[in-house]
Amino acid sequence: MGIDAAFSTRLRNAADRLMDLLDGFGQAQVLVVGDLTVDEFLTGQVERVSREAPVLILRHEETRQVPGGGANAVYNLAMLGAQVKAVGLVGDDAQGRSLRQIFEAARIDTRGILVESDRPTVTKTRISGHARQSVTQQIVRVDRKSDDLPAPALQAQIVDYIHQHRESVDAVVCSDYGDGTLTPLIIEATLHHSRVIVDTQVNLGRYAGATIFTPNLPEAERAVGYAIESPEQLSQAGRDLLRQTQAKYILITRGEEGMTLFGRDGSEEHIPAFNRTEVFDVTGAGDTVAAALTLTLCQGGSFWEAAVLGNLAASIVVRQFGTATTTPAALKAALETLLEESSQT
C-alpha cells in the first residue's frame, strides 16, 4: 500500500508540528529496562580450506562491537538526543565492559547496569568471510547467553533502582528480548510509571496496563494465536491485543505494509511504509521505532504523530546493514523529502 492522497494531505498539515516535535527530542529523559546485548561482527579473508576439517580458514581483519537487543533501544534513544538511564545486566567479561564504554562515550547513564559474574553478557558473534574481490558473507553466528534468571538479590537491586529513578523520567521503555532480565518483579516496578512503552518478543500479557505495545507482525500473530493475512484479521488482532494487554494503544509494525495503530476508543489508523525500495537490513528497526515513538510522546505528541515519526526513523535505519541508529537531523531531512514526494501525490 502506497502513500494515498488522504494520508499525504494529513502529513502536510502536520509538517510544522512534526518538525517541532523533532526539535524537542533532546529535552526528554527516558529510563530503559532491557536485555542488554552486544552484537559482535568478526570478519576476515578466506585463505584456504583447513586440512583438519572441511572448514574455511579466515585471516582475521576486524572485530566490531555495537549495542544490540535492549542495548540498541538505549543507544537509539541516545543518538536521537534523549538523556537515557540504562537498566539491565552484563557479565564480568570483555563484552560487558565494551558495552559500558560505548554507552559512557554516548553520555548514557550506566549506573543502573549491574554486573552478574555467573552470567555472560548476551553476545551474538557473527563471523563473516570473503575471498579477494568478493562480497563479505556471514558464515556462522555464535551466541553467548544464560538461561537462568538473575539472582534474587540482583532483581531486588534493579527494582530498587527503578523505584528511585522512575519519577524523574518522562517515560519508561521495556525492551524484552526474552533473555531473562525482565522478571515479574522488575516488570511490576516499571508499570507504576504513567508512560510505559513495551517492545517485547514474548508474552505481551505480562505487561498488562502499559501505555503502548509495538509488536511486529510475527509477534502479534504469536500473541493472538492466529495468522494475520487479511484486513479483517488485522483489525481483529488489534482488538484482541488491546483486550489482552489492557493498553491504551497497540502499534503493529508490518514491514513493507507499513504500521497500523489501534486505540482503546476503537480507532484504527494506517501509516504506510515510507521506504519500500531501499531495504537492506531490518535488524533492530523495531528498537528505532520504539525510540522515536517514545520521544514524540515525551514531547506531548499524539500517538498518530509518534507512529509517523517512528515509521520515518525505521525507514532510515533499514537502509543500513546491521543494527543502526539515526538522528533528529536525519529525520528532518527525511521528513522534508517525504513531504516533497507527498505533494506530488
Active site residues: 287
Find the farthest-apart pair of alpha carbons in the chain and give their distance in angstroms, rounded. Answer: 66
- 274: cell is 515510507
Instruction: Note the residue count of the chain.
Output: 345
Closest C-alpha to 15, from 345, 344, 338: 338
Residue 250 CA to residue 208 CA, distance in Å, equals 12
Q: Which residues pair with 287 in a beta bridge?
A: none
The secondary structure of residue 255, as a DSSP letter, is: G
Please count the CA atoms within 13 angstroms of the CA of 222 that sit on its side-chain side.
Answer: 11
Residue 76 CA to residue 311 CA, distance in Å, equals 14
The answer to whether residues 139 and 127 touch, using CB atoms and an 8 Å cutoff, is yes
Residue with cell 543518538: 79
- 157-163 contacts, C-beta under 8 A, 24 or more apart: 157/114, 158/33, 158/87, 158/88, 158/89, 158/112, 158/114, 158/186, 158/189, 159/185, 159/186, 159/189, 161/87, 161/111, 161/112, 162/31, 162/33, 162/87, 162/112, 162/186, 162/189, 162/190, 163/189
